[in-house]
């Protein structure tokens, strides 16, 4: 399931659009994730990796950054990553076309909230297993998603600098199509923090 | 019990005849003068028999747990919840047989001033049985305190409110509150009047020995208070820090913080009192600046936190004088202002003998009094149509307020449609960091970099961004920013003011399609209206719409994009309601517009032949709630009969034969189902608007709760029928148009703040009170009014001005989060005479009406009527005994209150409070709903209609609007003597026009009527009543100055008041 979708400006974390959770129960449960997402937006900057997956309990955040705009979605951890990223790419191309030029000029939060209609529709497309078959392109284009950065959201948020300070590390990892070993290298740190 | 009444009013009449010497022998029930039949008039009072306590509430209301602890929590407003506890039922029988009871029923005639507090056990407040001793009203001003004691005791959550409220009270009240009794307001009185009831109480507050205001029982002259007061101030403030402060800090976080907002409370900024410690966090600033504001008297320092008390003011004076800023003239100029103000209104100083000068009604609409402020301040003040106070001169102390016997409160119309509204978009909204007040025209700038809050006196920094004025494009003029130049302003909220992305506009319509409903033909009319206005619904490309219909089953309509026609889904299991498909029932209006139009066209025919008479309203509401709860939005429910099936089914309770006895009037809900569901709705940002179109009794007292607590509105079209009642058809159509197209705010909250020392204790209107003082408004509409009651907690001797600020945070239909802020500034006065001079009689009548509705529900209708009459008697007695030096005969009133007896008499004859057989129960309840939910201006019109003569209109003094000439005929007194056979008269009674037309209508008349109508959010029906028409009785019902079968004429009423006042 794709649960939360948010679009924000990287420069200042200003939320531009989002989808309201359709399911009331889920909305309550997702409050925590929503605020994590908001905090994440404030942390992101130009040096942040442009594609990343952040683990949060049984959920995963996936985001991409394109043209100074961050597209983020929360999914269950077992939701196919490539689908999630394909979904984000889809949002990106539509959003960029509709609002891309206006993004730097706005100051009010959720200026493009009307984009929600498109988000909801696209979400349906990517979560409905029947409709999904039509998205044949996914399989080929996005195979490299497996190699994307994986980190833990708590860690990123608690250590405010995480994404920027350790950027070099990330950049390298990213450039070299990060190996599993490096991902694991992040783990012990997380445990320290958590402990 | 009623014995004292008869001789007394008989006496009154005799007196009247003796004085008047012109007893009319006609006996006609409409004569203006007195009549001989003493018994007839005595009946007027005695028809409200005190026996009204003997009835029992049906057993099924006994659901104390859910009614009280789950929801009653902080609903200060809801007297209704009082009723659902067992205490009420258990309490009543003893009361009925209690020998003390007669004293509770002192009708207007045998008035017993002591009765209110003499015997707390017998006080007819239901809450008495819950918290014995906690709600003894102060002896002398019972009219104004009953709602606060009653509802506070029942609703305030003990633990959390106690400390919060104490934040701005003194030590005494703090301890009192923490001892578990939230009705802090009465702390001084109770020790004297009812000590045995609450033994721990005296010990609880005696440490704080120097009690400020003396007991209301015998207030000494006001001047005597000042020395006392200062000693009280020296008592160290309690360290009210721990729980509240954390909340306060949280709430004051801003941009860049990591704090997760979990509630609107935090977002809007927490209560005024929640953050007192913040002053201490910055002692340097406050010490060097805060307490040496030159225009304030030295005594002022003492109101501040202990860290700063005792600092000699002189040594602290801030070097750069405030003279450089226009703002700072506020306090300093006040004294001169009051002088000039007084001389400006010579008329206002007049004392009037109402028995001699009877015709006090102005021929033009009554204007609200102008607060006695320096013109520079008044120029910036809030428009009284939006925000006004019952007393435009605020009494310095509670003792002074008690002496005046006038209610202190605010009347608000916060979301009124405005022609001009400055809107500010900036990344930081400047607010006081202590009490979260929005910067406003009445703050003071100490220098360019610091401003002092006018509510809590906290000194705040001026943010860098605020230094630049976008209007003048000048840097360094913070006091010229629009925020400081406009008392009404709207802010674009940054994302900290959002708990979730702004919700889309969601409109769900729920239609009764039972046989009865189809018979009325309403569905046709409503569907047509919807079709006509579909494109005018406020919204954007996200707008969602959905439909549910119901009879004995619930029907859903799938409007999925791509379907060739709407698909109907029937759910017959109404016991365990479920949504047949989660998607496509609420659809995007843009994308499914054709399907929606299709449905609206076919819907009326679909049920044309239905034989189903049952109505499962409760389950239908439950399913509608489920459908909307993920997003929130507006639910519009159309109901035409008493619900008969499933949860929320109701039984007929009205007994027409007993209408007149005032006994067994069911003003309280018979089930808490609708209230509980409304609170669930409120939690999910769903508001329910109820359209009741029923000829039969439908128990609006129960049904209305669904709208009341979810911040919806109630519309009532009695005996709606598409053929038999064409005026109602037109009314529904016009009102639907307004309803569907008017502005709407979603997921809203409102908070009202006031200057330290004042405290708001009871709220009136449709909403749910969350966390003490935050009004939860799932929807807000431009036609809703609100009222609050206030008390003076701490004496205001150190300040000359007080301010009130309402902040309404809402999501517009375009998905913008906005905050609309109104700020009102008023002077503080120290003498009773000034308090009276500044009284706003319309606001007072409006607030009294709200209080009387609560009183009718918590006690009885006759109690409410007595309280209304006593309000006049008490205030005029106070005026006579304390202000007037020489006691002349007659009924002497201050100019400001010259219409007070008239308006109260009009209230007594209003549908809500009238006696006699005219009012059907649902109509009465509807009138009460209107009192609570209407803005003051419409409430006054329904209470005291405007009467015009329209057969001789001239262009003299006419208005010219857009090339139209609208004649302005003078307003006539509501008395038959103003009518004549050869004239045509128009009565503008708010929602119902009742004109009498004998002559052909002229263009002028039409222009005038349509002008009157354009000003209304609702559509006044125009009845044309000739002399012989049966509607004449309705028309005459509104002639409030005349005698009716069950009520005094104005002159008789004045005599009665005079007799009581001069006693």
pLDDT tens sequence across B875-899: 999 998 888 877 778 888 999 999 9
Arithmetic mean of pLDDT, B949-953: 78
- Inter-chain residue contact A24 with B630, CB threshold 8 Å: yes
- pLDDT for the residue numbered B654: 75
Burial (0-12, 13-18, 19+ Cβ within 10 Å), B365: exposed
Q: What is the pTM of this model?
A: 0.72
- pLDDT for the residue numbered B378: 93
CB-closest option in A17, A20, A108 to B631: A20
CB-closest option in B427, B582, B815 to A107: B427
Closest CA to B972 of B355, B369, B353, B364: B364
Chain A residues whose C-beta sits inside 8 Å of any chain B C-beta: 6, 14-15, 17-24, 27, 31-32, 34-35, 38-39, 42, 107-110, 113-114, 116-117, 157
Query: What residue in B sits closest to A124 (Cα-Cα)?
Result: B583
Chain A contact present for B683, CB below 8 A: no
- pLDDT for the residue numbered A58: 84
Rounded distance, CA B712 to CA B731, Å? 19
- Inter-chain residue contact A42 with B256, CB threshold 8 Å: yes
* Highest mean pLDDT (candidates A147-151, B292-296, B684-688, B980-984): B684-688
Residue B304: pLDDT over 50: no
* ipTM score assigned to the predicted complex: 0.75
Chain A contact present for B255, CB below 8 A: no
CB-closest option in B492, B494, B541 to A117: B541
Share of chain B above pLDDT 70, in %: 63
CA distance A159 to chain B (A): 12
Banded model confidence at residue B1025, pLDDT cuts 50, 70, 90: low
pLDDT tens sequence across B728-763: 898 899 899 999 999 999 999 999 999 999 999 999
- pLDDT for the residue numbered B462: 92
Q: Where are the alpha helices (DSSP H) in B213-325?
A: 225-234, 242-251, 264-268, 278-281, 283-288, 313-316
- Inter-chain residue contact A116 with B501, CB threshold 8 Å: yes
Per CB-CB distance under 8 Å, the chain A contacts of B582 are: 22-23
Chain A contact present for B262, CB below 8 A: yes
Share of chain B above pLDDT 90, in %: 42
Work out the angle between the directed axes of helices A81-99 and A116-127 (0-180°, nearest 10).
160
- pLDDT for the residue numbered B87: 32
Per CB-CB distance under 8 Å, the chain A contacts of B503 are: 20
Burial (0-12, 13-18, 19+ Cβ within 10 Å), B562: exposed
Residue B40: pLDDT over 60: no
pLDDT-wise least confident of A91-105, B556-570, B830-844, B907-921: B907-921
Per CB-CB distance under 8 Å, the chain A contacts of B583 are: 22
CA distance A2 to chain B (A): 16
Residue B598: pLDDT over 50: yes
Rounded distance, CA B585 to CA B557, Å? 6
- pLDDT for the residue numbered B884: 83
Between these two residues, B222 and A159, which has the higher pLDDT value? A159
Between these two residues, B1010 and B355, which has the higher pLDDT value? B355
Arithmetic mean of pLDDT, B423-443: 92
Burial (0-12, 13-18, 19+ Cβ within 10 Å), B1011: middle
- Inter-chain residue contact A117 with B542, CB threshold 8 Å: yes
- pLDDT for the residue numbered B223: 36
Residue B429: pLDDT over 60: yes
Banded model confidence at residue B955, pLDDT cuts 50, 70, 90: confident
CA distance A169 to chain B (A): 25
CA distance B653 to chain A (A): 37
- pLDDT for the residue numbered B604: 92
Residue B1029: pLDDT over 70: no
Rounded distance, CA B939 to CA B911, Å? 12
- Inter-chain residue contact B501 with A19, CB threshold 8 Å: yes
Chain A contact present for B427, CB below 8 A: yes
- Inter-chain residue contact B502 with A110, CB threshold 8 Å: yes
Chain A contact present for B501, CB below 8 A: yes
**In this complex, how many residue pairs, one in chain A and one in chain B, have their CB atoms less than 8 Å apart?**
67
Banded model confidence at residue B792, pLDDT cuts 50, 70, 90: very high
Residue B4: pLDDT over 50: no
Per CB-CB distance under 8 Å, the chain B contacts of A113 are: 501-502, 542, 815
Residue B237: pLDDT over 70: no
Chain A contact present for B542, CB below 8 A: yes
Banded model confidence at residue B627, pLDDT cuts 50, 70, 90: very high
CB-closest option in B495, B583, B629 to A15: B495
Per CB-CB distance under 8 Å, the chain B contacts of A108 are: 425, 492, 816
> What is the secondary structure of B819-865 as a DSSP string?
EEEEEEEEEEE-SHHHHHHTB-HHHHHHHHHHHHHHHHHHT-HHHHH
Phi first, then psi, for residue B804 (nearest 5°) are: -130, 140
Burial (0-12, 13-18, 19+ Cβ within 10 Å), B122: buried
Tell whether the torsion through CA atoms of B1009, B1014, B1017 and B1019 is positive or negative. positive
Arithmetic mean of pLDDT, B80-89: 34
- Inter-chain residue contact A117 with B493, CB threshold 8 Å: no
Rounded distance, CA B312 to CA B292, Å? 9
Q: How many CA atoms lie within 13 A of B796 on its CB side?
A: 32
Using CA atoms of B75, B79, B82, B83 in order, give the dihedral in degrees to the nearest 10: -130
What's the mean per-residue pLDDT of chain B?
Answer: 72
In chain A, how many H helices and how many E strands?
9, 6
Arithmetic mean of pLDDT, B697-701: 92
Contact (CB, 8 A) for B891 and B1061: yes
Best mutation site among A6, A108, A122, A128 for testing chain B: the one with the most B CBs within 10 Å?
Answer: A108
Query: What residue in B sits closest to A5 (Cα-Cα)?
Result: B501
Query: What residue in A sits closest to B505 (Cα-Cα)?
Result: A114
Banded model confidence at residue B722, pLDDT cuts 50, 70, 90: very high
Residue B314: pLDDT over 60: no
Banded model confidence at residue B455, pLDDT cuts 50, 70, 90: very high
CB-closest option in A22, A23, A24 to B684: A24
Contact (CB, 8 A) for B632 and B503: yes
Burial (0-12, 13-18, 19+ Cβ within 10 Å), B480: middle
**One digit per residue, pLDDT tens: chain A, 195 residues?**
788 899 999 998 899 999 876 665 565 677 788 888 888 888 888 888 888 888 888 888 999 999 999 999 998 888 888 888 989 999 999 999 999 999 999 989 999 999 999 998 898 888 876 656 555 555 555 555 556 667 777 777 665 444 444 443 444 444 443 344 444 444 444 443 333
- Inter-chain residue contact B501 with A17, CB threshold 8 Å: yes
Closest CA to B407 of B19, B871, B46: B871
Banded model confidence at residue B1007, pLDDT cuts 50, 70, 90: confident
Banded model confidence at residue B496, pLDDT cuts 50, 70, 90: confident
Query: What residue in A sits closest to B625 (Cα-Cα)?
Result: A24
- Inter-chain residue contact A109 with B495, CB threshold 8 Å: yes
Rounded distance, CA B238 to CA B306, Å? 9
CB-closest option in A14, A20, A39 to B504: A20
Query: What residue in B sits closest to A42 (Cα-Cα)?
Result: B256
Per CB-CB distance under 8 Å, the chain B contacts of A20 are: 500-501, 503-504, 630-631
> What is the secondary structure of B2-63 as a DSSP string?
-TTHHHHHHHHHHHHHHHH---B----TT-SS-BS-HHHHHHHHHTS-GGGGG----GGG--
Residue B176: pLDDT over 50: no
Banded model confidence at residue B217, pLDDT cuts 50, 70, 90: very low
pLDDT-wise least confident of A130-144, B554-568, B682-696, B1004-1018: A130-144
- Inter-chain residue contact A110 with B495, CB threshold 8 Å: yes
Rounded distance, CA B430 to CA B252, Å? 11
Arithmetic mean of pLDDT, B1001-1013: 71
CA distance B770 to chain A (A): 18
pLDDT tens sequence across B516-557: 999 999 999 999 999 999 999 999 999 999 999 999 999 999
Per CB-CB distance under 8 Å, the chain A contacts of B498 are: 109-110
Residue B39: pLDDT over 50: no
Per CB-CB distance under 8 Å, the chain A contacts of B591 are: 117
pLDDT-wise least confident of A152-166, B490-504, B734-748, B769-783: A152-166
CB-closest option in A27, A31, A109 to B498: A109
Rg of chain B taking only CA atoms, in angstroms: 29
Task: Determine the length of chain A.
Answer: 195
């Amino acid at each position: 399931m794709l649960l939360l979708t948010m679009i924000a400006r990287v420069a200042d974390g200003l939320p531009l659009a989002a989808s309201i959770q359709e399911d009331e129960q889920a909305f309550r449960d997702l409050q925590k994730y929503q605020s994590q997402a908001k905090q994440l937006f404030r942390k992101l900057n130009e040096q942040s990796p442009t594609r990343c997956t952040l683990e949060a309990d049984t959920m995963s955040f996936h985001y991409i950054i394109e043209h100074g705009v961050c597209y983020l979605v929360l999914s269950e951890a077992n939701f196919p990553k490539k689908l999630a990223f394909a979904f984000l790419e889809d949002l990106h191309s539509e959003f960029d076309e509709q609002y891309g030029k206006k993004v730097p000029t706005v100051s009010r939060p959720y200026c493009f909230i009307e984009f929600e209609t498109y988000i909801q529709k696209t979400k349906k497309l990517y979560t409905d297993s029947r409709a999904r078959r039509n998205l044949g392109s996914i399989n080929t284009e996005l195979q490299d998603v497996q190699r994307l950065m994986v980190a833990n959201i708590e860690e990123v948020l608690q250590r405010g600098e995480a994404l920027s300070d350790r950027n070099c590390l990330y950049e390298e990892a990213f450039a070299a199509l990060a190996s599993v070993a490096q991902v694991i290298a992040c783990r012990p740190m997380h445990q320290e923090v958590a402990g | 019990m009623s014995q004292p009444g008869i001789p007394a009013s008989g006496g009154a009449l005799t007196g009247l005849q003796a004085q008047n010497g012109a007893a009319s022998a006609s006996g006609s029930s409409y004569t203006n003068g007195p009549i001989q039949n003493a018994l007839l008039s005595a009946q007027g009072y005695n028809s409200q028999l005190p026996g009204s306590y003997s009835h029992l509430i049906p057993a099924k209301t006994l659901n104390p747990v859910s009614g009280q602890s789950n929801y009653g929590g902080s609903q200060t407003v809801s007297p209704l919840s009082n009723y659902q506890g067992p205490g009420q039922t258990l309490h009543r029988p003893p009361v009925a047989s209690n020998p003390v009871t007669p004293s509770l029923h002192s009708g207007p005639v045998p008035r017993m001033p002591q009765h209110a507090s003499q015997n707390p056990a017998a006080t007819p407040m239901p809450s008495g049985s819950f918290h014995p001793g906690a709600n003894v009203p102060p002896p002398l001003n019972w009219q104004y305190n009953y709602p606060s004691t009653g509802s506070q005791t029942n609703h305030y959550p003990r633990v959390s409110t106690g400390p919060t409220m104490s934040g701005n009270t003194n030590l005494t009240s703090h301890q009192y509150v923490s001892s578990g009794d939230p009705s802090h307001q009465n702390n001084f009185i109770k020790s004297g009047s009812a000590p045995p009831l609450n033994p721990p109480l005296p010990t609880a507050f005696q440490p704080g020995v120097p009690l400020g205001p003396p007991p209301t029982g015998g207030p000494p002259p006001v001047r005597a208070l000042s020395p006392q007061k200062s000693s009280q101030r020296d008592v160290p403030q309690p360290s009210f820090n721990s729980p509240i402060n954390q909340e306060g800090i949280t709430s004051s976080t801003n941009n860049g913080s990591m704090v997760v907002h979990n509630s609107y409370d935090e977002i809007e900024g927490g209560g005024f009192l929640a953050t007192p410690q913040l002053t201490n966090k910055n002692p340097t600033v406050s010490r060097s600046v805060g307490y040496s504001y030159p225009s304030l008297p030295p005594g002022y320092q003492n109101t501040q936190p202990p860290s700063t008390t005792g600092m000699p003011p002189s040594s602290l004076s801030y070097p750069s004088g405030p003279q450089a800023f226009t703002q700072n003239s506020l306090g300093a100029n006040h004294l001169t202002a009051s002088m000039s103000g007084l001389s400006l209104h010579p008329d206002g100083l007049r004392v009037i003998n109402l028995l001699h000068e009877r015709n006090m009604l102005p021929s033009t609409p009554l204007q609200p009094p102008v607060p006695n402020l320096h013109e520079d301040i008044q120029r910036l003040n809030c428009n009284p149509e939006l925000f006004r106070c019952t007393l435009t001169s605020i009494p310095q102390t509670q003792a002074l307020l008690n002496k005046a016997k006038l209610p202190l409160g605010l009347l608000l119309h916060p979301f009124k449609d405005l022609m001009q509204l400055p809107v500010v978009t900036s990344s930081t909204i400047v607010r006081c960091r202590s009490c979260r007040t929005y910067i406003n025209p009445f703050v003071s700038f100490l220098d360019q970099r610091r401003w002092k809050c006018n509510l809590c006196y906290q000194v705040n920094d001026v943010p860098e961004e605020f230094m630049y004025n976008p209007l003048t494009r000048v840097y360094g003029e913070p006091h010229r920013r629009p925020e400081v130049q406009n008392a009404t302003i709207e802010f674009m909220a940054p994302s900290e003011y959002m708990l979730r992305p702004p919700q889309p506009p969601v409109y769900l319509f729920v239609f009764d399609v039972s046989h009865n409903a189809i018979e009325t033909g309403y569905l046709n009319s409503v569907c047509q209206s919807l079709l006509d206005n579909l494109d005018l619904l406020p919204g954007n490309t996200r707008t969602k719409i959905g439909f549910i219909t119901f009879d004995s089953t619930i029907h859903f309509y799938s409007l999925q994009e791509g379907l060739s026609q709407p698909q109907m889904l029937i759910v017959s299991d109404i016991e365990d309601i479920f949504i047949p498909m989660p998607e496509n029932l609420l659809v995007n209006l843009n994308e499914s517009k054709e399907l929606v139009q299709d449905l609206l066209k076919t819907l009326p025919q679909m049920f044309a032949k239905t034989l189903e008479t049952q109505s499962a309203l409760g389950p239908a509401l439950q399913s509608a709630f489920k459908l909307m709860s993920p997003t929130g939005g507006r639910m519009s429910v159309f109901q035409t009969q008493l619900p008969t099936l499933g949860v929320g089914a109701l039984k007929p309770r009205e007994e027409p034969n007993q209408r007149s006895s005032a006994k067994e009037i069911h003003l309280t809900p018979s089930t808490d189902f609708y209230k509980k569901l409304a609170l669930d709705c409120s939690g999910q940002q769903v508001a329910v608007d109820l359209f009741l179109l029923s000829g039969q009794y439908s128990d609006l007292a129960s049904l209305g709760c669904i709208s009341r607590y979810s911040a919806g509105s109630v519309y009532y079209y009695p005996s709606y029928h598409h053929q038999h009642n064409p005026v109602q058809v037109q009314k529904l159509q016009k009102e639907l148009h307004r309803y569907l197209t008017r502005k709407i705010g979603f997921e809203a909250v409102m908070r009202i703040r006031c200057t330290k020392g004042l405290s708001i204790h009871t709220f009136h209107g449709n909403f749910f009170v969350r966390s003490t003082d935050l009004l939860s408004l799932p929807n807000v509409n431009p036609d809703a009014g609100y009222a609050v009651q206030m008390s003076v907690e701490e004496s205001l001797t150190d300040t000359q001005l007080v301010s009130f600020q309402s902040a309404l945070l809402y999501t517009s239909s375009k998905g913008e989060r906005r905050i609309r802020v109104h700020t009102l500034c008023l002077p503080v006065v120290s003498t009773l005479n000034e308090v009276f001079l500044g009284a706003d009689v319309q606001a007072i009548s409006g607030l009294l009406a709200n209080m009387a509705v609560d009183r009718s529900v918590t006690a009885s209708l006759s109690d409410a009527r007595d309280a209304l009459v006593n309000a006049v008697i008490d205030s005029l007695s106070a005026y006579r005994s304390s202000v007037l030096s020489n006691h002349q005969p007659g009924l002497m009133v201050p100019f400001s209150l010259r219409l007070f007896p008239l308006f109260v008499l009009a209230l007594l004859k209003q549908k809500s409070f009238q006696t006699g057989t005219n009012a059907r129960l649902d109509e009465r309840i509807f009138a009460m709903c209107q009192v609570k939910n209407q803005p003051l201006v419409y409430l006054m019109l329904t209470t005291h209609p405007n009467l015009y003569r329209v057969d001789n209109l001239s262009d003299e003094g006419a208005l010219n609007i857009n090339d139209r000439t609208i004649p302005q005929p003078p307003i006539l007194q509501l008395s038959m003597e103003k009518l004549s056979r050869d004239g045509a008269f128009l009565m503008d009674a708010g929602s119902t026009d009742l004109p009498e037309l004998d002559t052909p209508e002229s263009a002028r008349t039409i222009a005038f009527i349509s002008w009157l109508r354009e000003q209304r959010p609702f559509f006044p029906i125009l009845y044309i009543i000739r002399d012989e028409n049966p509607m004449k009785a309705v028309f005459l019902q509104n002639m409030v100055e005349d005698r009716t079968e069950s009520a005094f004429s104005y002159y008789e009423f004045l005599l009665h008041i005079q007799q009581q006042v001069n006693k």
